[in-house]
Structure 1
């Protein structure tokens, strides 16, 4: 009997605020996290840089083109066969029309009052709070 070693999957996310301090969130359309709210993002494809992956994921999930800034923080989340290594980057919107797409069933700008009412992916609120990235509005 051979034991399989856990798989590590590199993922990225984009932390985006609008001009009044609301945070961009998507509702996941697929597992993991189906039906839960999270920052937009996903897996880094082979040969992609983190920056390229963030731009692609934000465009696919939200319809927005972004400029990728500094690494804000990272988290590790378990899944059945291993762990997701998630690196979240500060982003600024360059262009586009906000609309859900790809892996998102909904997308919206969220203020602090609305954030408190949403069912978030595990650990998201704590990570955002620790990185000083909660909505300011």
Structure 2
């Protein structure tokens, strides 16, 4: 499956929680969101997702699952592919792009200032890993 997108983000899922970051810089400065960023020339969207997690958090991700692709911006021209995974390793070493980070359960985000529709995105991401 080819995913047409300009950037990627990843929901890292562990023990019923996801890792949210608070952006230090624009766009979305001071908002809680998923880690990620822009596609670089020559890389696939999956490679972009893995690189951004490595650069922003120092973690290695694998077994990425596509959750959805969002159209963002006033003109809806930026396409963000959102992935989710339970497969990651390493120790979190946040870059200067991250003002703060925390593991949080999706139902505990009520008091956080988040990017648009993050609750819906996380609902879809967690649904990929529900166990019966």
Change (3 A) 1:72 1:112: closer
1:69 aligned partner: 64
Pair 1:87 & 2:81 matched: yes
Change (3 A) 1:108 1:66: same
1:1-137 aligned within 5 A: 10-18=6-14, 20-78=15-73, 83-129=77-123, 131=124, 133=126
Runs (4+) off by over 4 Å: none
Number of residue equivalences: 125
Kindly indicate which of the two structures has a greater share of residues assigned to strand.
1
Residue aligned with 1:53, SS: helix
Q: Shift in Å at residue 106 of structure 1?
A: 1.3
Unaligned runs of 5+ in 2: none
Task: Report the Cα distance in structure 2 between the residues aligned to 1:68 and 1:83, rounded to whole angstroms.
Answer: 28
* TM-score, normalised with respect to structure 1: 0.79
Task: Report the Cα distance in structure 2 between the residues aligned to 1:12 and 1:32, rounded to whole angstroms.
Answer: 14
Task: Report the Cα distance in structure 2 between the residues aligned to 1:106 and 1:10, rounded to whole angstroms.
Answer: 25
Residue aligned with 1:47, SS: coil
Task: Report the Cα distance in structure 2 between the residues aligned to 1:132 and 1:117, rounded to whole angstroms.
Answer: 20
Q: CA RMSD in A?
A: 2.4
Change (3 A) 1:126 1:113: closer
Residue aligned with 2:77, SS: strand
Task: Report the Cα distance in structure 1 between the residues aligned to 2:98 and 2:87, rounded to whole angstroms.
Answer: 18
Residue aligned with 1:17, SS: strand
Q: Shift in Å at residue 82 of structure 1?
A: 6.3
Q: Shift in Å at residue 113 of structure 1?
A: 4.9
Task: Report the Cα distance in structure 2 between the residues aligned to 1:127 and 1:94, rounded to whole angstroms.
Answer: 19
* TM-score, normalised with respect to structure 2: 0.81
